Structure 1
């Protein structure tokens, strides 16, 4: 095959920049997994695999290995890694996927308690139960437990009987919202529900489980620190249980961008491992006979690894904590072997390990946020400009060095926040805009003051020497809350975002990945995409119309107001409110607006329907059922013919034929909730057409 100038340019670029393949292999694997989640059916998955195989074959056949070794190897390895990612996700779903129960059930059941999640203030505890369905198959169900029916015996291992109400795991209320059914499919949970009667106890909880140690430590911290808010934060740092944090403090932590402190992840595991590594290294160095015979960095790394594993188990071994522990152990291994502790290659290996065992994690917020933050940190600190800045810092006096280190810490926080902003808004529809400034203080305070103090207090507690330090620990933890409340109460501290299109997030992510992983000036090609994407993200407007999957709630945006089918006071309206960019009140409850469709200008309503005209550039007639619709067939036919959109929670007769869109119970049950741009005539659904994923 004759030489192609473009291929020669690519080959030269790869050679000149010493192309590091491992990070791009991780990206390719990630793309393959996302393709499996994005494409709806096995036929399309097979087509994608075929295209990957065909691409690899064509490159191997027509590109000469001597002329284009880098291009040849890169293309083949990347497309095969994409195929591997899709097959890993497909295989994982096939092996562990657990279908939900077919219909709601209310019955007396004998169950075994697997896990118990304690109640937070104002909320119910939750139990993970194992029971059997009508066919005798073992199923797992997560149920809420009110204080009325709670018993001391209801811990892991208890065998009890009670009346339960179970239903299939719920799908996302509308596009862009959390899909619990997907998470339950991979977690092996077949049902959710609630307890409806008192328990009959056959066997009590098993004694002295890890959860008991958690509970004991949690209670110990709460008892030793007087301030309730500080005690709740400190207890969360020890055990990962957040139920003791007052709602106002939890909301302040979220709005200030400090909520990551409440989720045990890389920061906490890394802090524990770093503290143990440093202390072990210093103490062992005091023993000359050992220091001369044993490589102390290796011994300290082993001690840090055991500390990280123990902390992971103590805090419940949640998937984000396991991922953080794996990554931290890889860093320890690199340090013990004398390799660079933080590099893109190491981050890529950690990501590949996680995706190999838990491919479903890549569509979750935890995986995306944690790896995006780490990639941003490594890319910034490995850049030539920052390396020169750090090297030059050593020449200055101590005050100047402190200022330069402070500036680097702030810059790191700022880069992290910019990197995470699209993901945070996509998943949570709300982000703290001053979090970079807040984290400039809280991250060092947490890792270098609060967590070491808590650790010392726990070590000294059996000796009876910890009382003065608990008071100091409470004061330091209280500073975290002071920063959170000060930051969250600042003007425009919180950015509320409506539904974020996936294409926009992918554009920003692709630009950011290029900027982080490529080298040389050509990496700056990722900057325009990042800047334009973030500007577009900040200027998003909410969909004109959002309909829940049940059809029982909708939100219509018009003239700066949001109009609801029913008052905005239930779970569905709270979730939909996130997509239309409405904030809850201070208690986290209902939205400030209480307008219903009857209040819509020109609305014509009766007991069965409301008929309204909406749309900015063009008037669109919308017919909305106010409950389960049972209308006269002739009247229904006439009303539907005159309408562009018809919405109803129950299935309507086929004689109802609107001009554009039918969203009745039949359609919503197949496709889930919908978000509609009326002027552009664009409709997004929870489920794509022909979706064959198990959940």
Structure 2
């Protein structure tokens, strides 16, 4: 089969034509490529680019009967790519959310939109903001505020006054890292911070529209409060997470266990949760309807059950807070039930492709999120698998007794976990730099408990909540205790987590393209994916981490030692950055100071043949290092006279350009990358970074 796919290259057009019913599956990929192009630009394009899809659409009309198939394919593909580009551009223009430019202390009034309650603190999303004019703060749409004082008395919908410290949303921790400011921009969050006074309630919701908008948040906060008081403290946070989407009450130890065991996906409301809730409601409604012979004979029971499931899913979405990830999961699962209503195949790659097109059209920023990538990778792979294996597995289960059916079910769960794990592994590595070694075993044990025990209990908990019934919480909690035990045990096994590090976005795009090529095509041409994968894997040999990494504050730097280990200058400063840096620097951390790093009260000097890299911490140190060091990295301003060094990075460079990565090439050149040099001039980048996004001089 492989050889035939490679040998019949003369018949490649015929193979593509025989698979023309699957061409539509490439639509979301091409639209996504256009969105990726938009986000990759160093500057924000003008709105005039929006005419490009229209121009190509007009061009496609006379090309319908053109004999050159390749030209039609090229123009059609470009049309879809420009659609994606235009969707990203339009979404950014619609959001148009101002960003706080610098740290400020202010007194503000605003309306509580959302409340996320933890054991000792709470996080609030605050809108309808008003600041003192003297503070000169831009008209922010929303801010995210943490508080440890009187947060128990504050509920969504209240108008409050509070004094707070506000900061711009966090920037990427290293050049090319995850852009938290872009994520916040598309949520219209212009600042984050913490309160330094107690909240004062100065009003309540009276407007009908704001009452409706706050109803979901009020319900989530009320459910969270009910669960915290009625459920066990060991599993209350988990219950709140799968009922309302709020993970703030989950202890850090449980989060670590779930992540290291490969079960963290059970905590976030995703397609799996929507699918379980929708499926349970669908089958329960269908079972109850067929109990009446009259209804079963004269009414379309399956379609009615699908509509009931849709209503239930909509309620679950409403209670979950309607976050982008929850809306994405809802669209994906709702498409399946809508397909049932129109007598279409519910579980098909075409329906998944339609859901992807809808989501990318509404929320193009989802393309760069881990949840979107991993969700659709798993769903595409699983449906492709069961298109071929499902009928045979179903026939095997139906041809025997209970033992055979049980074996078929366990085989299906194991196969599902294996394929989903393999499909999502590249995306998990790219975003988190690690893979859970025993994920297959953990999911094989935990997923059936989640689907057959926990989620039915969640439905009962929703039904019983208005009546303050607590026994459903006990049912859910006992199942969650078992899942937490599985997570704790598998996370404690030797080498439970493999830290393999991240890789480039271009390699991720290559992996995605090769995976789609293999899944979409059914002709022998699909086997071209194997040589493409082999070539791609060779590129991983050229991957390298920075030799020196410096934080935006200058208080932390990391060195790659000759042994390939990473040495951090301190464990006290910039802890979040240090944790994120391990994605690119690796988990081989050494506490022992390298022998070629010498420190004194004025700073440190690192000899890396043939260069001396100085990290002065005092002005006296800067003056001395300017005369003897080749590279100077200073967290204080360097004098203008300091121009004999090959490269100088001082406090102003770090402030303007963010974190710096240094790569030492074999020919002696120094390649420098900066956080804001890679981000460019985009609306989600604060103005001071846009004005100074150029990298320092490269040697």
Is the shorter-chain TM-score for this pair beyond 0.5, marking a shared fold? yes
Output aligned runs, 1:379-528, within 5 Å.
379-383=384-388, 387-459=391-463, 467=471, 470-528=473-531
Structure 1 stretch 252-261 or stretch 496-505: which is displaced more?
496-505
Instruction: State how far apart, in whole Å, the 1-side matches of 2:103 and 2:449 are.
Output: 49
Residue 229 of structure 2 is aligned to residue 229 of structure 1: no
> Deviations along 1:11-66, whole A, 9 cap, x unmatched?
31222223422221110000000011112124699899979979996x999x8946
**Conserved 8 A contact 1:298-1:336:** yes
CA drift at 1:323: 0.8
Residue 646 of structure 2 is aligned to residue 652 of structure 1: no
Instruction: State how far apart, in whole Å, the 2-side matches of 1:434 and 1:413 are.
Output: 11
What is residue 180 of structure 2 aligned with on the other side?
A: 180
* TM-score, normalisation: structure 2: 0.86
* TM-score, normalisation: structure 1: 0.86
**Conserved 8 A contact 1:116-1:127:** yes
Instruction: State how far apart, in whole Å, the 2-side matches of 1:214 and 1:42 are.
Output: 37
CA drift at 1:233: 2.0
What is residue 155 of structure 1 aligned with on the other side?
A: 155
- Would the alpha carbon gap of residues 622 and 363 (structure 1) be closer, same or farther in structure 2, given more than 3 Å must change? same
CA drift at 1:351: 0.8
Structure 1 stretch 277-286 or stretch 422-431: which is displaced more?
422-431
What is residue 344 of structure 1 aligned with on the other side?
A: 349
**Alignment partner of 1:102: what SS?**
coil
- Would the alpha carbon gap of residues 525 and 605 (structure 1) be closer, same or farther in structure 2, given more than 3 Å must change? same
**Conserved 8 A contact 2:549-2:661:** yes
Residue 252 of structure 2 is aligned to residue 247 of structure 1: yes
Structure 1 stretch 572-581 or stretch 199-208: which is displaced more?
199-208
Instruction: State how far apart, in whole Å, the 1-side matches of 2:260 and 2:500 are.
Output: 13
> Deviations along 1:359-378, whole A, 9 cap, x unmatched?
11111111111111111111
Instruction: State how far apart, in whole Å, the 2-side matches of 1:326 and 1:364 are.
Output: 17
CA RMSD of aligned residues (A): 3.5
> Deviations along 1:638-669, whole A, 9 cap, x unmatched?
23xx41x3322345345434665443344434
Instruction: State how far apart, in whole Å, the 2-side matches of 1:160 and 1:223 are.
Output: 25
**Alignment partner of 2:111: what SS?**
strand
**Alignment partner of 1:77: what SS?**
helix
CA drift at 1:573: 2.4
**Alignment partner of 1:162: what SS?**
strand
> Deviations along 1:560-585, whole A, 9 cap, x unmatched?
543333334533323324432339xx
> Deviations along 1:443-485, whole A, 9 cap, x unmatched?
2211122111232355356778864x65444322211111111
What is residue 658 of structure 2 aligned with on the other side?
A: 672
**Conserved 8 A contact 1:154-1:204:** no
Instruction: State how far apart, in whole Å, the 1-side matches of 2:643 and 2:50 are.
Output: 37
**Conserved 8 A contact 2:116-2:221:** no
CA drift at 1:601: 1.5
- Would the alpha carbon gap of residues 130 and 36 (structure 1) be closer, same or farther in structure 2, given more than 3 Å must change? same
**Alignment partner of 2:108: what SS?**
strand
**Conserved 8 A contact 2:50-2:86:** no
> Deviations along 1:408-459, whole A, 9 cap, x unmatched?
3212211211121121122122331211221122222111221112323553
- Would the alpha carbon gap of residues 532 and 482 (structure 1) be closer, same or farther in structure 2, given more than 3 Å must change? farther
Instruction: State how far apart, in whole Å, the 1-side matches of 2:554 and 2:347 are.
Output: 50
Output aligned runs, 1:53-452, within 5 Å.
65=65, 67-69=67-69, 71-119=70-118, 121=119, 125-133=123-131, 134=133, 138-147=139-148, 149-203=149-203, 209-226=215-232, 228-383=233-388, 387-452=391-456
- Would the alpha carbon gap of residues 369 and 95 (structure 1) be closer, same or farther in structure 2, given more than 3 Å must change? same
Gaps of at least 5 residues in structure 1 are: 1-5, 584-591
Gaps of at least 5 residues in structure 2 are: 1-7, 685-699
Instruction: State how far apart, in whole Å, the 1-side matches of 2:437 and 2:539 are.
Output: 16
What is residue 40 of structure 1 aligned with on the other side?
A: 42
Q: What is the number of equivalent residue pairs in this alignment?
A: 664
Instruction: State how far apart, in whole Å, the 2-side matches of 1:338 and 1:517 are.
Output: 23
**Conserved 8 A contact 2:116-2:122:** no
CA drift at 1:162: 2.6
**Conserved 8 A contact 1:458-1:466:** no
- Would the alpha carbon gap of residues 506 and 667 (structure 1) be closer, same or farther in structure 2, given more than 3 Å must change? farther
Instruction: State how far apart, in whole Å, the 2-side matches of 1:176 and 1:408 are.
Output: 39
**Alignment partner of 1:190: what SS?**
strand
Instruction: State how far apart, in whole Å, the 2-side matches of 1:657 and 1:506 are.
Output: 41
Instruction: State how far apart, in whole Å, the 2-side matches of 1:493 and 1:532 are.
Output: 30
CA drift at 1:260: 0.6
- Would the alpha carbon gap of residues 257 and 361 (structure 1) be closer, same or farther in structure 2, given more than 3 Å must change? same
Residue 601 of structure 2 is aligned to residue 600 of structure 1: no
CA drift at 1:139: 1.5
- Would the alpha carbon gap of residues 536 and 490 (structure 1) be closer, same or farther in structure 2, given more than 3 Å must change? farther
